[in-house]
Amino acid sequence: MIKIMKKTFGKDDYKYDFSFVPKKDMKEFLKRAKKNWKDAIKKSKINEYFKDYILNEKVRGRLAEFMKKELKIDKKSEVLDIGSGMGALTIALARRFKTVGTDVNPSTLEFIKHRAEQEKINLALFHISPLHKGLPFKKESFDVVLMNGVLEWVAFKIEGDVKKIQEKVLKNIFRILKKNGIFILAIENRLALDWFKGKTSHIPIKYVDLLPRKIADFVCKIKRGKKFRTYIYSKFGYEKMLKKVGFGDVEFYEAYPNYQKPKWIKKTNNLFANSFIIVCKKI
């Protein structure tokens, strides 16, 4: 039986209950998932895009397979998945590596637990505090740390300089990585061609990612009543930030059409890629 271990920094006044399942439906959803996780997903009110996101492991497993084949990560490697969500990627990782999944949401961790037990997959699960409070692991604990679609959200519901909060989280990741350990960051590109076409990323306001931050703040306050907090960066911006906190050997891969459902992942110099898989090392 898989246990969900709690490693939080005291009582959290920060509540982040994101999941593809509406909060009011979560109790019934988890009850159904305990019997059959696939049936729970299929009968849920999750939209079809995200149902496929969770169920289609051929797609979600491409990043895990990329780590194994392209990055030559060994099956005995200790891999930490920060922000496991509904566990689609966490499960794919656990099939290939010694995996630890983490999240601030105990409900989604419970769903991962039910799925892993039904599929007889071995992994460790930790309920942790929001990332701005730190990571509850010892120095140099992991060979690989993966952050898949999380960095842009770490300052969303708290006060303070967004970039400094993101850098603080990255410094914590640097701390828990072993020497020569690998950090993998999957995230959108601020200069993605899609944003120029009027598509949106995390905030449903056209072109907001392309605007200078102060103007983006002004626009968001008018349209949504709060400042712009989901910072993403260009290729040069990510490289500068990662090197600032100590990482080296920074390499960029394009995930097409996006890192959530990549059809392929290839090394790139494309400044306008929709999203990146960024690979760097603690050297």
What's the pLDDT score for residue 16?
Answer: 54
Q: How many CB atoms lie within 10 A of CB 201?
A: 21
Residue 153 forms part of a structural domain? yes
| 208 within a domain of the structure (yes/no) | no
Model pLDDT for residues 253-268, shown as the tens digit of each residue: 999 999 999 999 999 9
Residue 9 has pLDDT above 90, yes or no: no
The pLDDT-based confidence of 18 (bands split at 50, 70, 90) is low
Q: How many domains does the chain have?
A: 1
Question: Does the residue 197 lie in any domain?
Answer: no
What is the average per-residue pLDDT within 125-130?
95
Interval 204-227: pLDDT, tens: 999 999 999 999 999 999 999 999
Confidence of residue 201 (pLDDT cuts 50, 70, 90): very high
- At 53-97, the pLDDT tens digits run 999 988 889 999 999 999 999 999 999 999 999 999 999 999 999
Query: Which domain covers residue 108, as residue numbers?
Result: 4-13+20-188+234-282
Q: Which helix (H) or strand (E) holds 184?
A: strand 177-188
What is the average pLDDT score of the chain?
95
CA–CA separation, 244 and 224 (whole Å): 32
For residue 244, pLDDT beyond 60? yes
Q: Are 235 and 252 in contact (CB under 8 A)?
A: yes
* HEC secondary structure over 214-267: HHHHHHHHHHHCCCCCCCCECHHHHHHHHHHCCEEEEEEEEEECCCCCCCEEEE
What confidence score (pLDDT) does residue 144 get?
A: 98
pLDDT of residue 57: 87
Q: Note whether residue 144 is domain-resident.
A: yes
Please indicate, yes or no, if residue 227 is contained in any of the structural domains. Answer: no
Band (20; pLDDT cuts 50, 70, 90): confident
| pLDDT (0 to 100) of residue 136 | 95
- How confident is the model over 93-119, as a mean pLDDT? 97
Query: What pTM was computed for the model?
Result: 0.96
**pLDDT range class, residue 145, cuts 50, 70, 90:** very high
- Alpha helices for the chain (secondary structure H): 26-35, 37-42, 48-55, 57-60, 62-69, 88-94, 106-118, 162-176, 193-196, 213-224, 235-244
The predicted pLDDT at position 22 comes to: 85
Q: Is 205:169 a contact under the CB 8 Å cutoff? A: no
DSSP, collapsed to helix, strand or coil, labels residue 111 as helix
| Average pLDDT over every residue of 8-36 | 81
Q: Does residue 13 register a pLDDT over 70?
A: no
* Residue 113 included in any domain: yes
Evaluate whether residue 200 is within a structural domain.
no
CATH number of the domain where residue 93 is located: 3.40.50.150
Taking the C-alpha atoms of residue 129 and residue 120, their distance in angstroms, rounded to an integer, is: 27
What integer pLDDT is reported at residue 59 of this predicted model? 87
- Asked if residue 248 is part of any domain, the answer here is yes
221: left (phi over 0), alpha (psi -120 to 50) or beta: alpha
Which letter does DSSP use for residue 189 in this model? Answer: B
Contacts of 20 (CB under 8 A, 6+ apart): 44, 46, 47, 50, 53, 54, 86
Token digits of residue 154:
């770490």
